Amino acid sequence: MSTAPSMTASTMTEPTEFAFDAESDALIAKVLARYPESRKASGTIPLLDIAQRQMKRTTGSAWVPRVAMDVIANRLEIAPIRVYEVATFYLMFNTKPVGTWHLQVCTTTPCWLRGSDEVTAACRKFTGIKGWGETSEDGQFTMTEVECVGACVNAPVLQVNDDFYEDLDAERTVALLEALQRGAPPPAGSTTGRQTSAPEGGPMTLLELPVPPGSGE
């Protein structure tokens, strides 16, 4: 669970000022070192991500306020509208506060065929959220409808913050939400225990892994 100040998404307002902290500045230096001085605008997406993660650290809500976009534009020496355009185009960036747990429900065809309607209904019933983009009264959950997240073979998929939870149904969705509410998110991946994207019932080829899962090799 986040240790940021106890402010909910519903009570959070657009700040009047924003400054990158030391942790973010160190990351920005690494990002901008990748590009020629004349191509600093290429850092727009990385800097938006850094700003959003700083907001999560400091407020408990992962979003990018407009004043942060202005700071990014100034840092990159570009017009603010160029940052606004990127921030409002990509679903990965939130332009208003979100709850501690951002439930990003994929409803594109593969997930829909595999039961995303059940996942959506379970999320709504558990959180009390009625529409997309809304936050629960306790500030813990925000629900967003998203396009394909690229995990179709393990559909339906629910992305929570940065993590994918796959092979969901109504019951497993509720169990996931209960764990999140307790501040104890389960390991990301398939909720049925399947190995990566292996067939249901287990892999039929490559039955032995050359290295243990998660070894990083």
Q: Supply the pLDDT for residue 6.
A: 45
In a domain, 15, yes or no: no
How many domains in the chain?
A: 2
- 42 and 115: one domain? no
Alpha-carbon span 95 to 98, nearest angstrom: 9
**CATH code at 39?**
1.10.10
Residue 78 is part of which domain span?
22-89
Say yes or no: 105 and 183 in one domain.
yes
* SS3 per-residue string spanning 98-110: CCCEEEEEECCHH
Q: Which pTM value belongs to this model?
A: 0.82
* Tens digits of residue pLDDT in 63-117: 999 999 999 999 999 999 999 999 999 989 999 999 999 999 999 999 999 999 9
Q: Does 114 map to a domain?
A: yes
Write the pLDDT tens digit of every residue in 111-165.
999 999 999 999 999 999 999 999 999 999 999 999 899 999 999 999 999 999 9
Residues 43, 46, 52, 58, CA torsion sign: negative
In a domain, residue 45? The reply is yes
Cβ proximity of 107 and 119 under 8 Å: no
pLDDT in tens, 28-52: 999 999 999 999 999 999 999 999 9
Residue 217's Cβ-side half-sphere holds a number of Cα atoms within 13 Å equal to: 6
